[in-house]
Structure 1
């Protein structure tokens, strides 16, 4: 791969230099404005720094001059302009372009011959690019810069592969399975999981109507969820540590849980709060404790926690509210864990908001699962139409789903979900 940096006055000037020196297959990796020259920080000129790269033919030296590529026919560049795709990406681009031009029947036959999977060899991940150490004239690249460029190129490859998978998938799947796929994607279910479910149904090879195909995919989801639901708080649990990032509705959720255990399960409940970072949080839980008629203890250290548990020894079940923090930071998770007692019949529950991004949830879960996290509660279901985060979390980590909160009313807006109901929410009831 040949990489070169240009400092120019205008982008048209940069494009001309790149085209003449690197050829039509070159791709721009980054652009930024810089100031050069001057004296004592004054009279500096505004310049544009452009980094471009092109993959060299196999066996050629890094210093070999590349000739511009011949013009491309409109049919070839209809989906993905070849001038914007180096050879490393062109395999994927060709697969997508050729797939669009072939008749649907030929696509299905080719896919069946190439692989037992419906997306077959089109989903093959491209091999890693051999990256040569660039030494363009007038440019000085550090190792960190080279690594950053490599990461960016790998990300571009992954994006192209993902697009190729979806293109191949849409070309060969029957309409009834495409409907299921569309609903799963709309809810944000990960590509890896929905492909697995739909592949499983497609490989059964039975003639399916639109309704039956959707129902079969929903059954795959129902079985997946049934193995990952725990029915709420167990009867032998005595202490529940409730954690969660800021703004997820953790304190309100604790009040709902306490009310559920008191009124439905007739258990004597006590509350403990360590959320002393916000005065309003303590007062909020104190108000709930007063309404429910349950004792409340405030703690700030492990010793305080131990004394509080001793004072609540007569309670059947104790909920401990912890401070809402930025738990993307693992140090804060470790600090929280030091406050908790390693008692028998105790468990930690993580509260997450369905309005958060799946990626942020997974980072937080990655930290908490190192400290014995076993259950999750999702809040704010009423504030989103996307429920895929529930599926993704349960797929990626060995945790179970205990409750879902769908409003702010205490104690009403809390439910123990079941696999069928949640599947219906995502794929529609009765297979529709």
Structure 2
């Protein structure tokens, strides 16, 4: 999460600054009128339930940084004046020292002349000549002699101390910001494995994968494989990897036929999907090539809908008794090109669930079992359904209710993590039209569009709520 406070003359200018600084994905956290105008607090990748303490910390750090910059700007004119005064003092001291040194040199020259004319000065003149010839006397120019003496030591020490304190405070602030960034990056990488930190770009990709509704395990694997440092290029890498990870069945049921059983929870759309498959196959190969079988003898009027399909399409319907043998029934239907088996949607706690699962297992590999995944269900429910029907020997899955869902991430995660090929996709109740063969690229593109639409809706709803909140408070008062 990245948060920042903006101040502008009006709300429109403030929102423009937010868009320029944080981009179109920024969320308006709060807004209020101040003496300077409108103050807006915006954040990127903001989650209200967990990011409130970090938001306050970032805003506090930003305020401290602005105060430090203000103090530095205020000190600048004073330091300039002090330096000018010290330079003027140094120049005056330099001029005075040059005059004093010139006077000393003139006196030394007069002494030399007097010593050369009279003998009383001979001892004084002879004394410096008694020094060894290897150590000649060094003559220093007035400027070189007086510069060290004219340096204002106390003022320079004060300036060095102020600069050192400012640098120390700045280093502390940078360290705190670095720690905050490391904490956010490491925790955004994986909520269950904080020992593996990701780069900032990878953490951004992980957050976008969460917007798509992907499972954290799959999002971790995708984000860890991102190599580009540019966000747009990294996102294109993510979309490509998503397409490659989604398995799609190579065989087409509507053309090749076979024996197919649809399994899944109650209300997943198994019976309606069987009606669509049967209608499509009858249109291609005729009514004599299709047979329908139902295992649902546990609910009242359970197979009435399937019986209506068989009557309309002109295909036979076989109802398996409770203690019947599915293998024997399938042996009698070997002459059919397509045999569709409808199972009962039973809870795992139902005593008949194990009986039906045993029948499906006994049918062997000649009966392909397709798990029906309703896209309107939660990700955990889809995972649980997969675990329940996995012992039957699943050959693929079918995505149903695409027209009713608002996120594809959960179903795509089940298919990708379990390597269960997507065989068919249904997107409406119309028979036989609303059934299609899947394409990984289309599924990923549609998932991204759904995520963007959902994010836009929530941002608009949040903005309207924040805008109406002050008015509501005023009216209440």
Same fold, TM-score > 0.5, yes or no:
yes
2:217 alignment counterpart: 192
Once the 2 structures are TM-superposed, how far is the Cα of residue 199 of structure 1 from its aligned partner? Answer: 2.4
CA contact (8 A) 1:184 1:426 kept: no
Between the aligned partners of 1:344 and 1:359, the Cα distance in structure 2 is: 28
1:350 alignment counterpart: 371
2:358 alignment counterpart: 338
1:63 alignment counterpart: none
> CA 1:198–1:108 in structure 2 vs 1: closer, same or farther (change >3 Å)?
farther
Greater fraction of residues in helix: 2
Between the aligned partners of 1:354 and 1:102, the Cα distance in structure 2 is: 46
1:388 alignment counterpart: 409
> CA 1:172–1:78 in structure 2 vs 1: closer, same or farther (change >3 Å)?
same
Once the 2 structures are TM-superposed, how far is the Cα of residue 238 of structure 1 from its aligned partner? Answer: 2.4
CA contact (8 A) 1:229 1:418 kept: no
1:269 alignment counterpart: 290
Instruction: List alignment gaps of at least 5 residues for structure 2.
Output: 1-52, 58-172, 454-477
Q: Which has the larger radius of gyration?
A: 2
Once the 2 structures are TM-superposed, how far is the Cα of residue 311 of structure 1 from its aligned partner? Answer: 4.2
Once the 2 structures are TM-superposed, how far is the Cα of residue 296 of structure 1 from its aligned partner? Answer: 0.7
2:309 alignment counterpart: 288
TM-score by length of 1: 0.56
Matched, 1:219 2:240: yes
CA contact (8 A) 2:188 2:206 kept: no
SS class of match (1:270)? strand
SS class of match (2:380)? helix
Once the 2 structures are TM-superposed, how far is the Cα of residue 359 of structure 1 from its aligned partner? Answer: 1.1
2:230 to 208, 227, 245: 208
Once the 2 structures are TM-superposed, how far is the Cα of residue 109 of structure 1 from its aligned partner? Answer: 9.1
> CA 1:400–1:265 in structure 2 vs 1: closer, same or farther (change >3 Å)?
farther
SS class of match (2:253)? coil
Instruction: List alignment gaps of at least 5 residues for structure 1.
Output: 1-74, 80-100, 112-117, 126-158
1:426 alignment counterpart: 447
Between the aligned partners of 2:189 and 2:433, the Cα distance in structure 1 is: 49
CA contact (8 A) 1:231 1:416 kept: no
> CA 1:401–1:309 in structure 2 vs 1: closer, same or farther (change >3 Å)?
same
1:376 alignment counterpart: 397
SS class of match (1:281)? coil
> CA 1:388–1:104 in structure 2 vs 1: closer, same or farther (change >3 Å)?
farther
1:383-421, CA deviations, whole angstroms, 9 ceiling, x for partnerless residues?
Answer: 111111122212332422111211111111111111111
CA contact (8 A) 1:348 1:375 kept: yes
> CA 1:300–1:103 in structure 2 vs 1: closer, same or farther (change >3 Å)?
farther
1:235-260, CA deviations, whole angstroms, 9 ceiling, x for partnerless residues?
Answer: 66621121111111211111111123
Once the 2 structures are TM-superposed, how far is the Cα of residue 319 of structure 1 from its aligned partner? Answer: 0.5
1:99-136, CA deviations, whole angstroms, 9 ceiling, x for partnerless residues?
Answer: xx75898469969xxxxxx945x5899xxxxxxxxxxx
Between the aligned partners of 1:76 and 1:213, the Cα distance in structure 2 is: 26
1:405 alignment counterpart: 426
SS class of match (1:277)? coil
CA contact (8 A) 2:264 2:345 kept: yes
Matches within 5 A, 1:86-235: 106=178, 119=185, 172-173=200-201, 178=204, 180-201=205-226, 204=227, 206-208=228-230, 210=232, 212-225=233-246, 227-233=247-253
SS class of match (1:374)? strand
Matched, 1:244 2:268: no
Between the aligned partners of 1:172 and 1:359, the Cα distance in structure 2 is: 29
1:416 alignment counterpart: 437
CA contact (8 A) 2:201 2:229 kept: no
Aligned length: 284
TM-score by length of 2: 0.51
Between the aligned partners of 1:408 and 1:165, the Cα distance in structure 2 is: 47
> CA 1:270–1:102 in structure 2 vs 1: closer, same or farther (change >3 Å)?
farther
Once the 2 structures are TM-superposed, how far is the Cα of residue 281 of structure 1 from its aligned partner? Answer: 2.8
> CA 1:428–1:384 in structure 2 vs 1: closer, same or farther (change >3 Å)?
closer
> CA 1:235–1:383 in structure 2 vs 1: closer, same or farther (change >3 Å)?
closer
RMSD: 3.9
Between the aligned partners of 1:363 and 1:399, the Cα distance in structure 2 is: 14
CA contact (8 A) 2:265 2:346 kept: yes
Between the aligned partners of 1:409 and 1:103, the Cα distance in structure 2 is: 61
SS class of match (2:377)? coil
CA contact (8 A) 1:351 1:376 kept: yes
Between the aligned partners of 1:416 and 1:165, the Cα distance in structure 2 is: 41
> CA 1:223–1:398 in structure 2 vs 1: closer, same or farther (change >3 Å)?
closer
Between the aligned partners of 1:172 and 1:207, the Cα distance in structure 2 is: 9
2:149 alignment counterpart: none
Once the 2 structures are TM-superposed, how far is the Cα of residue 425 of structure 1 from its aligned partner? Answer: 1.0
